[in-house]
Chains A and B, each alone.
Chain A
Amino acid sequence: MSVPIRLQPDETFILNVGPQHPATHGVLRVKMEMDGEYIVSAETVIGYIHRMHEKMGEIKTYPQFYMNLSRMDYLGALGYSHGHVLLIEKAAGIEVPERAEYIRAITVELNRIASHLFWFGAFVMDLGGFSPLMYALQDREYILDMLERITGSRLTYSYYRFGGLYNDIDDQFIESVKKFIPRMRKSLKKYHKLVTGNIIFRKRLEGNAILSKETCRKYGASSAVARGSGINYDVRRNEPYSVYPEFNFDIPVYHECDSMARYKVRMDEIEQSLRIIEQGIAKLPDGPIMPKKAPKIIKPPKGDYYQAVETARGNFGIRLVSDGTKNPYRLKLRSPTYSNMHLFDETCTGLLIMDALAFMGSLDLVIPEIDR
């Protein structure tokens, strides 16, 4: 017979969310000290699927390690591969043909839309709405099919090479992208009608988990977490790389600092990515996709190199300390959600538990990417 536990009026209790919990979208655990429904303090525990990618980076050679990058973030894998190839090309001085860079930008943006769509569906599901997930996954499926045709895989792509690409795109791919863009625009309108204006959705998110600019700066937040707090920061614009300076696109910024603002930023980003893809297809130059003299053995000269890229989840940085051999001396991966998740503990203090879970959803977490 179980005896009901009676708490004293000022007594708190510890609630474990996770490590196996649907709201955390992966193996993440949050130890919460609760006063009734309110969170007194929280401690995030990570590391359940830590795989020590950085050690693998030291043991494997550069091309061998390349496929690890797409295993970090299974929703927006191409962004991470892009950062890695850009870094190695910069360090080893490999020239990339223009066509390859355009195709990279197009595929990265397609992948970003796919990632945002999945986030959108899962986020609304966190809040109790199930149908949007089905719509979002259907649209995402079109992207996965397109990418599968040219890259050979659906999630963990290894499409880029040091110097270019593994495979050129063809007319069928371009046609399918051209068909996809208006279809996606129509779907976006549908999503806004279905979800954005919904009064329950708005009541849940507006004013939820206010995140000040200062907090973002102290934790190094990026992506929609920073842009929803009025910080105009996107690596594609602030630190232009690849062919992004050639494109005309806006960085959506909202100043409300709440979960609704973070939601709006990501939804607007889908439209901006569509614009980039449109321009990329229109401007796509002819030419080779690999340089003529692509080195077989990659040996960057001694030194310390850094490359930042904007992935679907934010500012991804990768640092290489090279000693001039076939293996990196040290390879550091700076994952964006690691910093974004870190500010959860501080911000969720004093929130209702359901509001905290809504806030957690708005951070767009992918746990393997935090744990690396």
Chain B
Amino acid sequence: MIVEKTRKALEALFPQPEQEESSAEKIEPSEQEEAEQKEETPRQNGIIERDYSVHGYHLDVQVDPAQLYVAVKIIDELDYFIESITGVDWIKENQMEVIYDFSRYDFDLCRVVIRTRIDREDPKLPTITPIYAGANWHERETHDFFGIKFEGHPHLIPLLLPEDADFHPLLKDFKA
């Protein structure tokens, strides 16, 4: 099962020194409940297995911006294709979330969502274009809409917005 395989590969990113070695399946539901009940506490980095019939994806992975490149590298080695990259502006928490969607050309279904949170005042992330050439436009679009700087991107100029655009329309404090 690719879900298990991907999970194992990604778990290497999150060493858990204090956790006792109980089976991983037992930990996950409680984590999910926690995330759903206490909305106020920010989510910890880690892997959550989601109910596909409700959310439409299987693995929900939150990583540190520094881990992003490595995580995408793992995903690439498992033959995933890139679906999209997008942002969400969490203005109340003064954070910006960037969401990467991956799926597979396969009947063994697994959709992976990799998300990472960055500071809203100075949004910077490493580019993943060396791994996925197709990330180029998606990152440019995210830069257009949210002003997130993808460091190392070969051609970070406006894609959908006018070429002289200096505004970012999907920011929650954007005024036309």
Contacts and interface: CB of A to CB of B under 8 A. Distances in A.
Contact of A217 (B79, B101, B136, B159): B79
B81 A332 contact: no
A216 B126 CA distance: 23
Interface in A69-123: 87, 90
Interface in B27-56: 36, 39, 53-56
A220 B76 CA distance: 12
Contact of B56 (A54, A90, A232): A90
Contacts of A46: 159-160
Nearest to B102: A220
A310 interface: no
Range class of the B interface residue count:
35 or more
B10 interface: no
Nearest to B176: A55
A272 interface: no
Contacts of B82: 218-220, 339
B64 interface: no
Interface stretch (B1-9, B17-25, B105-113): B105-113
A236 interface: no
A231 B89 CA distance: 36
20 contacts: A47-B158, A47-B159, A47-B161, A52-B169, A55-B169, A217-B79, A218-B81, A218-B82, A218-B134, A232-B105, A302-B39, A305-B55, A306-B111, A307-B56, A319-B86, A330-B89, A334-B83, A339-B82, A342-B137, A343-B134
A50 B161 contact: yes
Interface string B49-92: 00001111100100000000000000000011111101011000
Nearest to A54: B170
Given A334-B84, A371-B160, A218 B132 contact: yes
B88 A217 contact: no
Given A226-B105, A232-B105, A371-B160, A317 B84 contact: yes
Contacts of B150: none
Tell me whether chain A's interface is mostly helix, strand or loop, or mixed. Answer: mixed
Contacts of B60: 304
A338 B106 CA distance: 21
A346 interface: yes
Task: Identify the 7 closest CB pairs spanning chains A and B, nearest first.
Answer: A219-B134, A306-B56, A47-B160, A334-B84, A233-B105, A50-B160, A332-B86
Given A47-B158, A54-B170, A306-B56, A317 B101 contact: yes
A220 B170 contact: no
Contacts of B57: 306
Contacts of B99: 319, 332
A329 interface: yes
A330 B39 CA distance: 18
Interface string A294-319: 00000000111111100000010101
A303 B160 contact: no
Given A54-B170, A306-B101, A308-B56, A329 B84 contact: no
Given A303-B36, A304-B60, A342-B134, 4 more contacts: A47-B158, A216-B81, A218-B132, A330-B89
